[in-house]
Chain A
Amino acid sequence: MNEAIAIQVAKTILVVLLAPLFTGWVNQCRAWLQNRRGPGLLQPYRALRKLFHKDAIVAHRASFLFRATPYIRFGSMVLAASIIPTLVTGLPIAPAADVIALVGIFALGRVFMALAAMDIGTAFGTMGARREMLIAFLAEPALLMVFFTPALISQSTSLSTIVHTLAYQPFVIHPGLAFAALAFLMVLLAENARIPIDNPATHLELTMIHEALMLEYSARHLALMDWASNLKLLAYTTIGVALFVPWGIARAVDGSAIWVALLCLLAKLAAAGAALALLETLSAKLRIFRAPEFLAMAFLLAVLGLLTHVLLEGAA
């Protein structure tokens, strides 16, 4: 048991430390695809170090909520990251929350972020909060629907059990999962402020969604917010990896299997990051009122996945 706890702690720390690297990798791939040299893989770490060394400036009217939000958001993302099985299934914290609670943990961070943006009362904060809520209220149901297909397959809403079932059952093709994977990808793009829904690299304050919420943050607060965003992107990617390409994950706390699992994970993340960068390079940003159509499509695909599963495999 002690070993499992040690692995759990080590895994959480690893994911937290790895998150900026993954963002750096995606940005680097984007730069390469655009014929640019790019800032290098370690740029997010440099940015975080810079921000942690600066003095924080807080708006005059900011309440406790504004100061607390970066910690709440960062904390909720760390919690989410520790729940998601990345290396080993069945770790001690896994039973703490199932997929539905996981959606709630993501929502917690977001709600506080929107409240903090409205707390300072700038036009951009309010505008960003409004848009973020529009996206969230469409993306969350789609995300839940995505989770239901694998949950039905494994007869459980616990993420650890789902991953364990998918990875170690005898090889079966689940057509429903293909629809769910597509829907999940669309939700991932929307939830992580990626093109085509939002542009993480924009400096145009009027077009921002996610960035507009953070415009008034500086120094360590901004660093935590950025780090939390990195964690969120990594968390989503690892969920996708765990649900749709789970092979290689370790079944139990076992030395060599964990190293294999780690190598598999890194390879899968590298491929996923490159694919994300390619997708972003090929697309333009959607008009904001197209976002509902985009997310409705994600929801529809998730429902299709569920129906396919029930129709093809439900009787079994």
Chain B
Amino acid sequence: MDPEKLTIGLTALPGAIRAWHGETYALKWDQTAQRVRDHGGFLVSLWGSDDSDRGQGCTMHVAYAASGVMACLSLPLGPHRTYPDLSPVHPAAARMQRAVKDLLGLQAGGSLDTRPWLRHGAWAAGEAPLRKAFAIGGAGTPRSEPYAFVPVSGDGVHEIPVGPVHAGTIEPGHFRFHVVGERILRLEERLGYTHKGIEKLFETCTLDSGARLAARISGDSTVAYAWAYSMAVEGVARIEPPARAVCLRALLLERERIANHLGDLGALGNDAGFAFGLTQFSLLKEDMLRVNESLFGHRYLMDVVIPGGVRCDLRAGDIDRLRREADTLERAIAALRAIYDEHAGLQDRFIKAGIVTPELALKLGLCGLAGRASGMAWDARVDLPCRPYDELSVRAAVRHNGDVAARVNVRFDEVSESLRITRLLLDGLPGTETCTPPGQAPDHAFGVGMVEGWRGPIFIALHTGAANRIHRLHPHDPSWQNWPVLEHAVIGNIVPDFPLINKSFNLAYSGHDL
């Protein structure tokens, strides 16, 4: 996808990744969507903003990405409250558009699904908490409201409602199964139970204080969110973090990826009844988290990445310690991988469970780790690299089977690749500076940040207000694209396999519900 081919006036955004931005009008809105799809691009995110305090109406924004480039479009709506529906071209847009309706009251024209998505009765259907007129803290307590699940009828069809309260201590989501016997005919998700108004809260932040909030959007991806946020701020402020800082950021991001993958690999074994895997991988993960605590001051690396650089540094002894850790991890993981690969019972559960074919993945815009397991060879570290990834020649892990086994193997491959990157980074940590404070950002500017978190691309869109304040900030988790695909992945599988398939995607609740 070449930004010039989109035939709208786009200007390059300053910042660490190749991103373009421009305004468009309603007719071009869906034409561009089609053109992006034709050129192999995919929808990254869709959001709206209320610009009434600037004397304008609301604006819709969309971000697309393809190999090597990202394009963001803004559609000023003026007095209107509708905009053209993108979901026929990019199905992933459907839920994002429903969320925009819940939060800003803007309706995708022609969209058939008018049910709420993130709204659970904490505010009335006509209200829009992201409007500037809506007071902070104006939302009430969520309460149960009727929700029209798609009914399934037929001989022997049985309905199983699961969640949002589960038998284990896990995050809340509702899953409505329609089954015949044990076989799943249809699954419908209902999310939004952890909506806490993060986007509204960002509007009270300055560019500085927003970093803390960004690091708390989704605890398991705190480095990715903090980096994406910092990238957006640095782009707007037109500064470049020191070389040492970006290398340390990459090191932290890879550590986050390894720790999460280790946790998931163990949990996947456990969900298949192989508790040995869980204890072994948990042990490795715990050791890593303790090293994080002692070297970077936080087990999950919260608040280490800040706009302008990082809040940590490594001495020579620390570097040796991390090298030794990488060697130990590599040996242990190789042994465990052999056990997983050769365990007939485990492989029987993994193989052919929850298949997403590459065709379906392409159609629905599956992205990130789950996408790479279904042949979608897109990795922001390869296809839209910021420094230092542009010099590390990262090898994306790609599989084509699209089943649980493929997602397990992508995790194993990515852990190995992350260890390789870790060593490269440790060998060549440049310079001494770790932070360049961003200073004053221009008013009413727009910036983006995107990094490959362990789940997939984490995207942050930043609209600055006056005096270094945030006018609107939209964080986007790849789970938005991947949750709907899970509904497809389980069709035809049996009910007891759902937890395993779900775990193999391991999608975010907090990062999605915001």
- Residues on A lying within 8 angstroms of B by beta carbon are 30, 33-36, 123-124, 127, 195-196, 199, 201-208, 211, 215, 281-290
For B136-162 the 0/1 string (1 means CB < 8 A from A) is: 000000000000000000000011111
CB distance B160 to A287 under 8 Å? no
CB of B272, distance to nearest CB on chain A (Å):
5
Q: A30-B275, A284-B274, A288-B182 are in contact. List 15 more A-B contacts (CB 8 A).
A: A35-B280, A123-B159, A195-B273, A203-B168, A205-B167, A205-B168, A207-B271, A211-B167, A282-B276, A283-B273, A284-B346, A284-B349, A286-B345, A289-B182, A289-B494
CB distance A287 to B275 under 8 Å? no
B24 on the A face (CB < 8 A): no
Of A34, A123, A203, the residue contacting B275 (CB under 8 A) is A34
**Chain B contacts for A36, CB-based, 8 A:** 279
CB distance A35 to B283 under 8 Å? yes
Determine the distance from Cα of A195 to Cα of B269 in the docked complex, in whole angstroms. Answer: 13
**Chain A contacts for B273, CB-based, 8 A:** 195-196, 199, 202, 283-285
**Chain A contacts for B196, CB-based, 8 A:** none
CB of A196, distance to nearest CB on chain B (Å):
6
Main secondary structure of the interface of A (DSSP, over half): loop
CB of B213, distance to nearest CB on chain A (Å):
31
CB distance B276 to A281 under 8 Å? yes
CB distance B168 to A204 under 8 Å? yes
Known: A204-B167, A205-B162, A206-B499. A288 touches B494 (CB 8 A): yes
Determine the distance from Cα of A17 to Cα of B133 in the docked complex, in whole angstroms. Answer: 67
**Chain B contacts for A123, CB-based, 8 A:** 158-162
B85 on the A face (CB < 8 A): no
CB distance A287 to B497 under 8 Å? yes
For B102-129 the 0/1 string (1 means CB < 8 A from A) is: 0000000000000000000000000000
Determine the distance from Cα of A232 to Cα of B343 in the docked complex, in whole angstroms. Answer: 30
**Chain A contacts for B279, CB-based, 8 A:** 34-36
B39 on the A face (CB < 8 A): no
**Chain B contacts for A34, CB-based, 8 A:** 275-276, 278-280
Determine the distance from Cα of A208 to Cα of B182 in the docked complex, in whole angstroms. Answer: 12
Known: A123-B161, A127-B160, A195-B273. A284 touches B343 (CB 8 A): yes
Determine the distance from Cα of A195 to Cα of B499 in the docked complex, in whole angstroms. Answer: 17
For residue A30, which residue of chain B has the nearest CB? Answer: B275
**Chain B contacts for A124, CB-based, 8 A:** 160
**Chain A contacts for B494, CB-based, 8 A:** 287-289
Determine the distance from Cα of A148 to Cα of B494 in the docked complex, in whole angstroms. Answer: 36
For residue B350, which residue of chain A has the nearest CB? Answer: A284
Interface centre among A35, A204, A288 (most CB of B within 10 A): A204
B496 on the A face (CB < 8 A): yes
CB distance B495 to A127 under 8 Å? yes
Of B168, B280, B348, the residue contacting A287 (CB under 8 A) is B348
CB distance B167 to A215 under 8 Å? yes
What would be 23 A-B contacts, judged by CB atoms less than 8 Å apart?
A30-B275, A35-B283, A36-B279, A123-B162, A127-B160, A196-B273, A204-B167, A204-B168, A204-B499, A205-B166, A206-B498, A206-B499, A207-B496, A281-B275, A281-B276, A282-B276, A283-B273, A284-B274, A284-B348, A284-B349, A285-B349, A287-B496, A288-B496
